[in-house]
Amino acid sequence: MRKLIFAISALALVTSAAFADPIADRQALMKANGKAMGVLVPMAKGEKPFDAAAALAALQTLNDDAQKLDVAVHFPPGSETGGETTASPKIWQDQAGFQAALDKFKADAAAAVATPPQDAAAVGATVGALGQNCSGCHENFRIKKG
């Protein structure tokens, strides 16, 4: 009997560790998005030379992250506070709105990868369109907490 209880506890512990940290996971995804933008924005502004391969790789990162983002996985109940999260309570108060914003990001990121930019001006247009997803979501669903 004790072995069974021990086995179940160990299993539960391992399982909960596997789902441990939606906050850290979503922050890591967002930081990766930022790094990808860090490749694209200087190209758009002419500060760095246009590089089709690097631009495509950055857009693929953004798209991979967008498709990975999942409200149930990354914004489950219980993850409203903790860590250094800047998630706004509105994510859980307006779940339909948040899902809609996320779906728009998935669609825009997929479109950007489907027709990758071929010059600096096109990178600018792509950055503009994707950037609106960043600020649009952050405007409503992110809150600086000190």
Partner 1 sequence: MLGGIGAAAFWFLTEPRTLDEAKLAQLGAGDAMRGERIFWAAGCTSCHARPGSEGEARLELAGGLQLKTPFGVFVSPNISSDPEDGIGSWSVEDFANAMMRGVAPDGTHLYPAFPYTSYARMTPSDVADLYAFMKTLPAVAGKAPEHNLSFPFDIRRGLGLWKLFYLDDEPVVALAADAPENVRLGRYLVEGPGHCGECHTPRDFAGGTDKARWLSGAVAAEGEGVVSNITSGEGGIGDWSQSDITTYFETGFTPEFDSVGGSMAEVQRNLARLEAADREAIAAYLKAIPPHPNGYPSRTAPAS
Structure tokens at 123: 């990178």
**Interface mask toward partner 1 for 125-144; x: CB under 8 A:** --x---x--xxxxxx--xxx
142: helix, strand or coil: strand
Q: How far is the CB of 83 from partner 1 (least distance, A)?
A: 6
Give the number of residues in contact with partner 1, rule: CB under 8 A.
27
Instruction: For residue 87, list its beta bridge partners.
Output: 142
Is the CB of residue 136 less than 8 Å from the CB of residue 101? yes
Q: How far is the CB of 84 from partner 1 (least distance, A)?
A: 7
Residue 87 has φ and ψ, to the nearest 5°, of: -70, 135
Q: Give the interface with partner 1 as residue ranges (CB under 8 A).
A: 30, 34-35, 37-38, 41, 45, 81-84, 86, 88-89, 127, 131, 134-139, 142-146
